[in-house]
Amino acid sequence: MCFSDFSSCNLIGLSSSIAISISNNLSADEISILSIFLNSLADNLGIIATKKSIEESNKNYSL
């Protein structure tokens, strides 16, 4: 599965479906902790992606 092949609507639907499915078996506190953890994960992935993009841009300029 390649997420870049999905439309924005499909990604929203997939995300919503997964969230609903996961939350069915968790308490409110567990859902809150998981939400905070996943937000942190997403932030860190964003930092990594930005850093890689900058490094790739710098490689292209030095060629």
CA dihedral sign, ordered 11, 13, 14, 16:
positive
**Contacts of 3 by beta carbon, 8 Å cutoff, 6+ apart:** 11
Select the more confidently predicted residue: 62 or 23: 23
Instruction: Say how many C-beta atoms besides its own lie within 10 A of residue 6's C-beta.
Output: 13
Give me the pLDDT at residue 32, please.
Answer: 97
pLDDT tens track for 32-53: 999 999 999 999 999 999 999 9
Give me the pLDDT at residue 47, please.
Answer: 97
pLDDT tens track for 1-40: 688 888 999 999 999 999 999 999 999 999 999 999 999 9
